[in-house]
Amino acid sequence: MPRFLGIDIGGTNVKAAIVPDDGTVAAFVVRPWSGGPPADVVAAARELADELAPDGPRGIAACGAGCAGLVDGVRGVVYFSPNLPAWRDVELARMLSGALGIPTLIENDANAAAYGEHAAGAARGAANAAVLTLGTGVGGGLILGGKLHRGAHGFAGEVGHATIDYDGVRCVCGGNGCLERLVNAEAIVARATELARGGHTRLADLLRARPLTAKDVGEAADLGDCAAVRTLEEIGRLLGVGLANLVQILDLEVIVIGGGVASAGERLLVPARIEMAARVQGPSWRLPRVTLAELGETAGVVGAALLARDRLRAQA
């Protein structure tokens, strides 16, 4: 069976995997990485490839690499990456291909993760799907008509920076009331801190010791902490507003929620589904399934590898 190399370049680490034709993960490594020039990530990719495939890259048919930011997958250029501020107009596909000695494509990381969930995860079989990655940022990738929707320049799927509150709180992107600003990990921590402060709950006790994390909020909610439960209920509702917008605009079959924040699971998804249903007109059978991602931290590497597989096939 042909094998593919998937790479996922993040702000804090680089992931790599060997992905056979069937979309499973044969081997997976994560290496801490704190940013740096493109040549560094190319060298790291080469080392990871050697580690994963001791026979050398010759055993691998092609490579796909996901990277955050404005990525033009057709031209193979990273225009801009929020995690890598020094990167501008980097011809990453050409550089990786030269270092690895195999055909290499690049893609926006959220698009790659969406393709992974579509090809081998929770959006399998759905021709119209959105995959949202909730964490520090809120990324998105769209499968429309059975294909990854890249848009005019490869920048589609920036669901996190669509606004649901045009006069609302300022977002890092310069907009106001962006979905990301309202439902990301920081928003969860801020609201939970506000609700817990001065109280006598588990979360309040924790808060007296150290700043909260989004994970704390999820864990406290599982133990019935009312500030935590209420936080996830409120944030879930806001998430549902964003999901309703996607449904109105795109008419989807499934929406997949992944990323660190998604570990709060049904406590977040139940209010999100309720809010979505309240805002979408028409028969209830038109509503998409809203479900948790299945591939976890391998979604990006699997998706990038399978995009490389499919491009190779299309060219054959």
Q: By CB under 8 A, name the binding residues for its own copies.
A: 70, 79-80, 126-128, 140, 142, 144-145, 147, 149-159, 161-167, 173-176, 238, 241, 244-246, 248-253, 278-283, 285-286, 288
CB of 231 to its own copies, least distance (A): 17
Return the H-helix or E-strand segment holding 311. helix 299-315
Grouping H, G, I as helix, E, B as strand and the rest as coil, residue 110 is: helix
CB of 97 to its own copies, least distance (A): 24
Give 310's contacts (C-beta < 8 A, 6+ positions apart).
Answer: none
CB of 159 to its own copies, least distance (A): 6
Grouping H, G, I as helix, E, B as strand and the rest as coil, residue 163 is: strand
Grouping H, G, I as helix, E, B as strand and the rest as coil, residue 62 is: strand
CA 246 to chain centre: 16
Of 51, 63, 71, the residue nearest 96 (C-alpha): 63
Choice between 25 and 144, CB closer to its own copies = 144
The answer to whether 312 touches 102, Cβ cutoff 8 Å, is: no
- For 105, list phi and psi in degrees, rounded to 5: -120, 155
- For 184, list phi and psi in degrees, rounded to 5: -75, 180
Choice between 48 and 112, CB closer to its own copies = 112
Choice between 252 and 257, CB closer to its own copies = 252
CB of 276 to its own copies, least distance (A): 11
Choice between 147 and 313, CB closer to its own copies = 147
The answer to whether 302 touches 64, Cβ cutoff 8 Å, is: no
CB of 157 to its own copies, least distance (A): 7
Choice between 28 and 155, CB closer to its own copies = 155
